[in-house]
Amino acid sequence: MNQAYGLSMPRDSRSPVAASRDDLLRRFLDLAYDVSSRLRHHTQPIVRISAALLLAASVAACSGAPSAPPSEPAAITQAQALGTEVRSGLPSQPGTYPLVPASLNRDAQGVYRFAWKGSGGEQTPAAASRLQLAQSEVDQLVVPDQGDPVLQLTKDTPIPLVQSGVQAAPAQASSSGASFVPAFWYPFYGPLFAGPRYYDPPRTITSGSRVEGGTQSAAPKPLSERTIGLSRAVSGRAGGTGEGVAATSKSGATVGGKSGVSSSLDTAPRSGAFSAGKGGVSIGTSGG
């Protein structure tokens, strides 16, 4: 079942509050440059060092104050719940069966799809909506004499969370047998319970994310509570590489933008110099 995703457009301009704040930061940084330019040629070394420290602190403070609006996630589309449990392709006899590597996924309705190997090495695709997970040293399927099947997985085995799945098969392993892979789920995160449990990821998943943990229970949840919703971040830094809005002062330094500026001071006697880059500040004082 295909799902529709709506993407909201990023804002084209800053809010009046953000614009006023950037203007204030720009004025403050310009004042720091003016004071530093007058004092860095002073005959007293302590004054030159103080001017350099003032400028470095000002640049760091202004550069570490992003004014971009927070990211706006797209509208979330919650999957439609199953009408009945899904169970197909499972072994007819109790036992332990190796999983075909990279064949496992779970779709937005809560159906696990994978392929398992028989005693002769044959590979069979299977699907199950009522299935337990347990941490193990190897990836394998356990079919008990009674009860639901169990997928034993290593702690580092991810479960692709997909929009809609198809029957997993060896030829489809490279694509996870699904139409869309928004995230990879690592269910064994945090406190673990002994024995198999019913695990479910968070109800809302952001595309491209790493999902750790979720909920676990001794009994399966209702079908309507096993679905997930998929969303995409469209601006800012959540789920993307946006760095916010940046303004530039008359002296060429950036105000706003990406937070986190590292500064280094060189106080040895040398000709005055200043350079401000995106990631750091380098200041030299003039000799005297």
For the four alpha carbons of 116, 180, 162 and 238, in that order, the dihedral sign comes to positive
Report angle CA 217, 137, 210 to the nearest 5 degrees: 60
**Residue of 109, 78, 73, 8 lying closest to 230 (CA atoms):** 78
3-state secondary structure of 7: coil
**pLDDT reported for residue 232:** 63
* Calpha distance 54→36 (Å, rounded): 7
**pLDDT reported for residue 218:** 95
Tokens 């602190």 identify what position?
Answer: 57
Output phi, psi for 241, to 5 deg: -115, 15
* Cβ neighbour number for residue 152 with a 10 Å cutoff: 19
pLDDT in tens, 97-135: 999 999 999 999 999 999 999 999 999 999 999 999 999
**pLDDT reported for residue 257:** 40
**pLDDT reported for residue 127:** 98
Side-chain-side CA neighbours of residue 7 (13 Å): 8
* Calpha distance 194→174 (Å, rounded): 32
Q: What is the CA radius of gyration of the chain?
A: 28
Tokens of 187: 């269910």
- The model's pTM is 0.54
pLDDT in tens, 236-281: 433 333 333 333 344 444 444 433 333 333 334 444 444 444 444 4
Domain ranges (residues) in the chain: 16-70+240-284, 77-231
Bridge partners of 151? 133, 141
* Calpha distance 244→227 (Å, rounded): 33
Residues of the chain with pLDDT under 70: 1-22, 25, 28-29, 32-33, 35-37, 39-41, 48, 51-52, 54-76, 165-182, 232-288
Strands 150-153, 132-135: pairing kind: parallel
**pLDDT reported for residue 45:** 73
H/E run at residue 17? helix 16-39
